[in-house]
């Protein structure tokens, strides 16, 4: 067990409260920020998937970093935010909008503030945000290796709100690519190109993806470029 000192934070009511920095499973995230209740986990995964899927119909005006990892990061952060009228104004369409909130906390996140993506191995230690082991921007490779956990290569292990990762070592730029699993055999992802290069969000079925002319994009166990389905660490 990894135990650290308590730190003091100011609650929304203005009172000072102690926040335990323990990372009991050593996964790089303090227990205080992990979503532990079944209700909150389900709510987060539903909001995350719905926000990602919504970008296919109409891009949210405040989504700045538009690429495949940017879609994951944007949907992650927005899933934690308070769902007030101003928040809903950012979305012209949401597949699911009558969902319960993630009740444990909002965004920014206790201890981590806006640095919610792990990009380095090891358990959580006080100062991880300051030295850059937890950040606000992360690549698909970093999200896969340090912010999520593998589930397997079969869609049977995945739920709506889980992640898919591929690797293409010879590709220009990042060799890693990420997608969001929407359940019922559907995925949504950004092609990775900039808007000026024609980058876009696409929604399609795993069945269609299996028919891609380039077999390296097939989401099947026999494909070494398909790294499998993953789940965010804060849900694990």
Residue ranges of the domains in the chain?
7-235
H or E stretch at 71: helix 68-80
Structure tokens at 225: 């470029």
- Residue 232 pLDDT exceeds 50: yes
What are the DSSP calls for 23-87, one per residue?
BTT-SSS-GGGS--SHHHHHHHHHHHHHHHHHHHHS--TT--S-SHHHHHHHHHHHHHS---HHH
pLDDT digit string, tens, across residues 68-85: 999 999 999 999 999 999
* Res 59 pLDDT > 60: yes
Q: Report yes or no on whether pTM surpasses 0.85.
A: yes
Quick one: pLDDT at residue 193? 82
d(Cα 8, Cα 6) in Å, to the nearest integer?
7
**Fold of the domain built from segment(s) 7-235:** endopeptidase fold (from Nostoc punctiforme) (3.90.1720)
What integer is the mean pLDDT of 216-233? 97
Q: What's residue 171's pLDDT?
A: 61
């Amino acid at each position: 067990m990894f135990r650290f000192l308590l730190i003091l934070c100011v609650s929304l009511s203005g009172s000072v409260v102690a926040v335990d920095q323990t990372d009991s499973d050593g996964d790089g995230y303090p227990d205080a920020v992990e979503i532990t209740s079944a209700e909150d986990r389900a709510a987060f995964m539903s909001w995350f998937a719905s926000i990602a899927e919504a970008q296919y119909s109409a891009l949210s005006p405040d989504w700045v970093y538009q690429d495949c990892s940017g879609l994951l990061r944007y949907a992650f952060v927005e899933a934690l935010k308070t769902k007030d009228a101003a928040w809903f104004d950012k979305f012209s369409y949401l597949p699911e909008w009558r969902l319960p909130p993630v009740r444990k906390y909002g965004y920014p996140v206790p201890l981590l503030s806006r640095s919610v993506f792990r990009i380095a191995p090891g358990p959580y230690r006080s100062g991880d945000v300051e030295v850059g082991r937890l950040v606000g921007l992360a690549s698909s490779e970093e999200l896969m290796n340090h912010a999520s956990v593998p589930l397997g290569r079969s869609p049977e292990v995945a739920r709506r709100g889980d992640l898919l990762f591929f690797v293409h070592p010879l590709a220009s730029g990042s060799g890693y690519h990420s997608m969001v699993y929407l359940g019922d055999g559907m995925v949504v992802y950004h092609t990775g190109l900039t808007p000026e290069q024609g980058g876009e969000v696409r929604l399609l079925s795993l069945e269609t993806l299996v028919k891609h002319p380039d077999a390296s994009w097939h989401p099947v166990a026999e494909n070494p470029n398909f790294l499998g389905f993953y789940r965010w660490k804060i849900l694990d």
